[in-house]
């Protein structure tokens, strides 16, 4: 299993959801979703949603086992009030 770790804006992965698990982090009390995919090339990939923005996107689209799931890293962004920099992600789901 390969862990998806985007390196630059525009990096993405997509495939069919094979499992959704949760893990923990020392940085938040929220459960961290880990979405397991099988890409079109047959490669198993795990998307661990440690970044708050990615976690929020996964909750928004709510993927399920058998759904087609895609995630794209859009790079670092500055918040509206310019007080913080965050990692921006976009996710989409096509229901099975």
Domain boundaries, the chain: 2-94
How would residue 83 be classed by pLDDT, with cut points 50, 70 and 90? Answer: confident
Per-residue model confidence (pLDDT) at position 46: 98
CB 55 within 8 A of CB 11: no
Instruction: Check residue 40 and report its DSSP letter.
Output: T
Per-residue model confidence (pLDDT) at position 96: 87
Per-residue model confidence (pLDDT) at position 81: 82
Residue 63 DSSP SS3: coil
DSSP run (H or E) holding 58: helix 52-61
Instruction: Check residue 54 and report its DSSP letter.
Output: H
Q: Which residue has the tokens 């959704």?
A: 20
- Give the Å distances, CA to CA, from 78 to 54, 85, 86: 16, 4, 6
Mean pLDDT, range 57-78, rounded to an integer:
96
As its CATH architecture, domain 2-94 has: Beta Barrel (2.40)
Asked if the model's pLDDT at residue 22 lies above 90, the reply is: yes
Asked if the model's pLDDT at residue 82 lies above 80, the reply is: no
């Amino acid at each position: 299993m390969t862990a998806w770790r985007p390196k630059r804006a525009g990096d993405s992965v997509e495939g069919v959801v094979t499992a959704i698990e949760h893990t923990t982090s020392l940085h938040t009390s929220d459960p961290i979703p880990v979405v397991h995919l099988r890409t079109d090339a047959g490669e198993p990939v795990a998307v661990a949603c440690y970044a708050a923005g990615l976690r929020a996107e996964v909750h928004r689209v709510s993927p399920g086992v058998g759904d087609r799931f895609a995630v794209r890293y859009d790079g670092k962004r500055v918040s509206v009030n310019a007080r913080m920099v965050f990692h921006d992600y976009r996710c989409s789901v096509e229901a099975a």
